[in-house]
Amino acid sequence: MSATAAAPQSQIGRVWTRFRRHRLALAGGFVVALLLASALFAPAFAPQDPTLLDTALRFRPPFADWAHPLGTDELGRDTLSRLLYGGRVSLTVGLVAMVTTVMTGALIGITAGFLGGVVDNLLMRFVDTMLCFPQVFLLLVVAAFVPPTLLSISLVIGLTSWMEVSRIVRAEILHLKEQDFVAAARALGASRARIMFRELLPNAAAPILVAATLKVASAVLMESYISYLGYGVQPPLASWGNMLTNAQGYFDTVPWLAILPGAAITLTVMGFNFMGDGLRDALDPRLRMDP
Amino acid sequence: MADPLLKVSGLEVHFPIRSPFLRQRVGTVRAVDGVDLEVGRGETLALVGESGCGKTTTGKAILRLIDPTGGSIRFGGEEIAQHGPSRLAPFRRRMQIVFQDPYASLNPRMTVGGILAAPYEIHRIGTTADRHARVAELLRTVGLPPEAARRYPHEFSGGQRQRIGIARALALEPELIIGDEPVSALDVSIQAQVINLMKRLQAERGLAYIMISHNLAVVSHVADRVAVMYLGRVVETAPRETLFFDARHPYTQALLSAVPEPVPGRRRARQVLQGDVPSPAKPPKGCHFHPRCPIAQPRCAEEVPLPRVVAPGHAVACHLAAP
């Protein structure tokens, strides 16, 4: 968040000191950095094209030879390459969905919290309604009507998971808007938009940042759910979710085909969650959000 | 007063009390219940009274930060009590506020420069360069170095923050500043500095102040005239000397007798009031003060006393006050 970046050095220093004390968060941050780098430089690290078929070399086990360090799948495609490119897909979906979630959630939360009254009531009842449906259900319904592309999947995930963010932001705004600096802005004649986005929103940056980090993890998980169920990223494009789908037929004979993408998902989700936890404790120990 | 800058009459701010489930109105808090005030140009009016008597609400209603439910607010001759945001905009430049808590009144995520440039951004005054120059000038006026503009509020002490709050109030060159307990959150040693700053600015710029305060020592130092509030109403208005030496309202007399004497050992007859301030949701009938008044008569429980002029500039809302 740019607002946090603009905060004074001493404050960032204090946050960093507290974050560093959180060992798991540090490890999570390290994993996240590693994943981002590997996704970014996938073409450089990947031994070959992830969609290249080689039926002569099917089901190679991992660590058997240098051409395929993590083995090959049922069509002879290189597993490491597919994992790296699948990571690109998962992280892209995770980040785009997170941005969508945060923007929608923050906008709805700040509007409800600041305007209050009828607007607040309508928006919060809408949030309650959205929360009534299990997210996977919503996703599958929408996915059945929207052709699956990377962007549409990300947007659909983002637009079905903003509710918690809006509640967090609303709660924060309710507390902030009673402060004197808001009254001072009103006394100066500031418009509602200016008060909402210039005065209030930057002050809610910390909880938003924490929610954003945790949302990347849940979006990655969601993407693998729906890809696993066949509504997400379509073959031959690799994603951790559809790698799992392909692997399930061979689980008893070649388990590593399922274990490897499963481990990648677990690692990513844990990395982001630990990082989010650490950020929350570092930014504001008083904040608590249920996962 | 011939041509007051601000004339408030019959100002009312009533808040509804609603039931928790069906939200029906089940009562009314009469925070401000018919307040009359006048402030002349360049004058300081002190608004005193104990916590919860409605003095802050009165100030905020005059600035239209809280919507009044009744009465009139005339500023510079124009009625503004019912103005919408666009018609209110020019008046936002002419009256400003300094808050009590210098920690809550500055946005912690903005630099001091950003805070002080905001008034110019909102009113679209000057270019970015002009605004920088004006911010530096404002900081100089309140005795802070121009480098302060790049720093954040938490890097300053309470007194310095209050100076920043004053600088912000000055930015649009207002005619009236409402000080809502502007020094009560500060150390005593810093209070004098801030008060002197405000007095100097008044002398230089012809500012009018409404000083909301419960501290009579501060009031005796800054006020030209004093209005005493009790439970949403003004009970006595008088020039400063008159109020301190010839208070007529029994509440004012009790309030003054509670001021600590600066000379050790010297004691004044302390007049201790019985009971608590009644709730503004259920104010007593007649004179709001009658249940606690040492000289109350049966009439006081029935008739609301209207302000009576007992001497030039001295009005008392009491049936029994000597003329």
Query: Do B271 and B254 contact (CB within 8 A), yes or no?
Result: yes
User: B110 with B181, same domain?
Assistant: yes
User: B99 with B194, same domain?
Assistant: yes
User: B131 with B43, same domain?
Assistant: yes
Residue B50 in any domain: the answer is yes
When CB atoms are compared, the residue of A6, A186, A188 closest to B119 is A188
Structural domain boundaries of chain A?
Answer: 8-35+87-283
User: B166 with B240, same domain?
Assistant: no
> Which of A78 and B175 is assigned the larger pLDDT?
B175
For chain B, the first-to-last Cα distance in angstroms comes to: 20
Q: Residue B133: which domain range?
A: 6-223
| Confidence (pLDDT) at B249 | 93
- How many Cβ atoms are within 10 Å of B161's Cβ, its own excluded? 22
Residue B1 in any domain: the answer is no
The residue among A1, A188, A209 with the most chain B CBs within 10 A of its CB, best to mutate, is: A188
Domain count, chain B: 2
Q: Examine the pLDDT at A2 and tell me if it is beyond 70.
A: no
| Confidence (pLDDT) at A289 | 42
Domain A8-35+87-283 has CATH 1.10.150.120: no
ipTM given for this complex: 0.89
| Confidence (pLDDT) at A276 | 86
> Which of B217 and B2 is assigned the larger pLDDT?
B217
* DSSP state at residue A202: G
Q: Examine the pLDDT at A7 and tell me if it is beyond 50.
A: no
User: B138 with B243, same domain?
Assistant: no
Residue type, A192: R
Q: Examine the pLDDT at B239 and tell me if it is beyond 60.
A: yes
Between helix A23-40 and helix A256-283 the angle, nearest 10°, is: 130
Which of B194, B223, B252 marks a domain boundary?
A: B223
Average pLDDT over chain A reads: 84
Q: Is B261 exposed, middle or buried (0-12, 13-18, 19+ CB in 10 A)?
A: exposed
Classify B302 in phi/psi space as left (phi over 0), alpha (psi -120 to 50) or beta: alpha
Tokens at residue B87, please?
Answer: 């018609």
Classify each residue of B278-314 as buried b or exposed e, where b means 16 or more C-beta atoms within 10 Å of its C-beta: eebeebeebbbbbbbbeebeeebeeeebebeebeeeb
Which of B157, B188, B223 marks a domain boundary?
A: B223
Query: For residue B92, which residues of chain A lie inside 8 Å, CB to CB?
Result: 187-189
User: B130 with B162, same domain?
Assistant: yes
| Confidence (pLDDT) at A45 | 76
d(CA B288, CA B52): 14
Tell me: the pLDDT tens digits for A180-236? 999 999 999 999 999 999 999 999 988 898 888 888 888 888 888 888 887 877 777
Answer whether A188 sits within 8 Å of B106, measured CB to CB.
Answer: no
Q: Examine the pLDDT at A237 and tell me if it is beyond 90.
A: no
Q: Please give the backbone phi and psi of residue B229, each rounded to the nearest 5 degrees, phi first.
A: -110, 145
d(CA A152, CA A162): 16
Average confidence (pLDDT) over A29-57: 81
Query: For residue B105, which residues of chain A lie inside 8 Å, CB to CB?
Result: 179-181, 183-184
Residue B252 at interface with chain A, using a CB cutoff of 8 Å: no
Tokens at residue A42, please?
Answer: 């996938």
Nearest to A148 by CA among A159, A139, A135, A137: A139
User: B84 with B206, same domain?
Assistant: yes
| Confidence (pLDDT) at A10 | 63
Virtual torsion, Cα A223, A224, A230, A231, nearest 10 deg: -10
Q: Examine the pLDDT at A62 and tell me if it is beyond 90.
A: no
| Confidence (pLDDT) at A291 | 38
Tell me: the pLDDT tens digits for B162-178? 999 999 999 999 999 99
Share above pLDDT 70 across residues of chain B, in percent, rounded to a whole number: 96
| Confidence (pLDDT) at A152 | 86
Residue type, B99: F
How far is CA A13 from its chain centroid?
Answer: 26
Tokens at residue A105, please?
Answer: 């959630």
